[in-house]
Structure 1
Amino acid sequence: MPDVPNQETLRAEILRMAHKRGIGKTVCPSEVARSLGGSDEKVWRLLMQPIRRAAITLSDEGRVVIKRKGRPVAPADLKGIYRLSLPDDA
C-alpha cells in the first residue's frame, strides 16, 4: 500500500487545485485524492480522511471555504459530502 502524503503535501494540492479552478468554483475532495493517489479507488479512498483534516486546517487559516450544499459551513459542523473553494477575497 502506498504511503499517505503528509499534511503539507495535501494542503498544497488542495490549494493548487482550488486556484486552478478559480474563485467562485469548487473542488471535490475526491478530485484531490485522485490527483495524488491515481485512479485506483482503493488507493485514493485512503486519502479522503487526511484530505478532510487538511481542508479543515486550511479553512481555519482562512485559505479555503468548506461548502456543503453550496453554502459555507464551519469545520466543527462538517458532516457528509462537502466541496472546497477559495474565499471570495482570495
Structure 2
Amino acid sequence: MPKPRKIRISDEAVFETILQLCAASWPDETVRPEDIAMTLYEPEWQALTKRIRLAVKQLAEAGHVQILRKGKPVSPDDFKGVYRVQLSDSFWHDTSDELITPAE
C-alpha cells in the first residue's frame, strides 16, 4: 500500500477548524482533539495531535475556547492527558470581528 502524500496545513486552517467544530457542537457538546485532527487530514491524523494541542492552548489563552478535563475547565498552562475543547462563553460576546491568533 503506498504511503499517503504529505500535505501542508496552515496554522490558520488549524485555528479555523477548531473554532468551526466547537461552534457546530456548542453549547451541548465538546470536541475531541482527535476529531479536529481527522477533519484536517484523516490519513495521518495522529501526526497532528501535538499541533492541535498547541493551537487549542493558544486559543484558550486568547479566551476563544475552554479546555476541559473530566468535564471541568482547566488552565491552558498545565493541562495533561485526555482533554476536550469547547467555545468559551466570551467567544459569543466578543465584539471584535477579528480572530486573535498567535504571532508566528
Compared CA separation, residues 51 and 32, structure 1 to 2 (3 A):
same
Q: Secondary structure at the match of 1:10?
A: helix
Give the aligned length: 87
Q: Deviations over 1:49-73 (max 9, x none)?
A: 0000100110011000000110001
Q: Secondary structure at the match of 1:27?
A: coil
Q: Give the CA deviation at 1:14.
A: 0.2
- Aligned match of 1:70: 71
Instruction: Trace 1:26-41 onto structure 2 (pairs within 5 A).
Output: 26-38=30-42, 40=43
Bigger Rg, structure 1 or 2? 2
From 18, 22, 26, the counterpart of 1:18: 22
Give me the TM-score of the superposition, normalised by structure 2.
Answer: 0.77
Q: Secondary structure at the match of 1:26?
A: coil
Q: What is the RMSD of the two structures over their aligned residues, measured on CA atoms?
A: 1.3
Q: Deviations over 1:2-24 (max 9, x none)?
A: 13422211110000000011124
In structure 2, C-alpha distance between the alignment counterparts of 1:55 and 1:4, rounded to whole Å: 19
The unaligned stretches of length 5 or more in structure 1 are: none
In structure 2, C-alpha distance between the alignment counterparts of 1:4 and 1:50, rounded to whole Å: 12
Name whichever structure is richer in helix by fraction.
1
Q: Secondary structure at the match of 1:12?
A: helix
Q: Which amino acid is 1:30 matched to?
A: E
The unaligned stretches of length 5 or more in structure 2 are: 93-104
Q: Which amino acid is 1:16 matched to?
A: Q
Q: Secondary structure at the match of 1:65?
A: strand
Give me the TM-score of the superposition, normalised by structure 1.
Answer: 0.88
